[in-house]
Structure formats: structure tokens, C-alpha cells
Amino acid sequence: MAEDKEDQQTGAIPVIIKLHPQPEEYVEAETAFLRSVGLCVTQWAFVDRQLFRLFRFGIGAPTHRAAILYYDQNTIGRRVGQINNLLKGAFEGPDNENWLKNWEGVHQRLRDLLPIRNVIAHQPVQRLGTSDGTKAIYVYAIYLEPYARYLKRSRNVHRDKESLNTDDLIQHSNDVNALESDLREFANKIGEASR
């Protein structure tokens, strides 16, 4: 009752946030969100391609044999770990200090971005309804599963946030795009040096 009086006094009309809104009420936000998820997934596919090139170099095998070993691994984390071990072995010795230093920098960026990639790939998406005071707004985000928050590696996925929104995903896509570019450049330099 007090709220009704307040609304009558201020002249504000309450905003209705619907459980099942009409498509025109949410489709723009939904499209922007899904587009950003798609960009992230695509960028990670390109990163995976560059990682395969580094794996192939690390084991010194022809493409078809390297592909059998690389793509038989089920997780990107295992792939990255194996590539790291292979490249550290390949870059042993004082003549390869620059190669190792360059790899370690790229590898650290890769490790920093992987937890966010895993949230995008494995955590639930949710649509929440809120209001700007005049109309309903539907917000999309990927939420870290509450029970997964007990894992140390999940706690600081994205600046202690509990979700990744469209802006976070766009930033992640840009970061992964830059990583892929650096991985490609690194793989090209290794390829040229080993000829």
C-alpha cells in the first residue's frame, strides 16, 4: 500500500518485468550477447589452430601424425600443458633463451585467459529482468556455477565477478584475438628458423 501511495504521489508508473517477455522486448540484447559468445568461441578456435602448429613443431612430426596426437587430447588445458613441456624441451640451452622468454610471455597470457574461456564453454547463461525506471530491460550473462566457486581456480575468473556480461565477453574476444595474433607470429618465426 505504501508503494501505491508513493507511485501516486510521484506519478511514476511501475515497470512490469515479464517472466516470458515478447521477443521484441529482449531480442536486441540477446543478439548482442550471443554474438559476443560466438566471437569468443571463434577466437579460441583460431588459438587452438596456432597451438597445434606449436605442438607439431615441439614433437617434430608430420602434420597427420601430430594431428592424431594433438586432437586426441580432450581438454585445451592438457594441450597447453603438453605444448609448454615440448617447447621448454625444444628451447633448452643458452642459444634459445630468447625463444623460451618469448614463449613464456605468450604462455602466461594464454594461462590467464583460459579460465574465462572455460567459464564461457561450461557455465550457464541466464537472462535477468531489471528496469531503467521507465521500461523493462533484459540482461544476459554467463554465471559462474555457485558450487564451482569453491574451486580455487574459479574464484578470480574475472575480477571477482560472479558473471560475464556482453561487455566482458567482447573484451575477452579482443584479448583472445591479440593472443592468437601473437601465437601465429611466434609459430611463423619458429617455422622460419627451423627451415
Asked whether residue 108 carries a pLDDT value surpassing 70, the answer given is: yes
Domain range list for the chain: 24-123+166-186
Residue 28 pLDDT: 86
What is the chain's length? 195
Q: Write down the pTM of the prediction.
A: 0.81
- Give the whole-angstrom CA distance, residue 22 versus residue 7: 26
Question: Which string of b and e fits 46-56 if b means at least 16 CB within 10 Å?
Answer: bbbebbbbbbb
Using one digit for the tens of pLDDT, what is the confidence trace for 20-29?
777 777 788 8
Calpha distance 39→2 (Å, rounded): 47
Q: Please identify which residue in the block is written with the cell numbers 565477478.
A: 161
Better pLDDT: 21 or 86: 86
Q: Spell out the residues 6+ positions from residue 64 whose beta carbon is closer than 8 angstroms to its own.
A: none
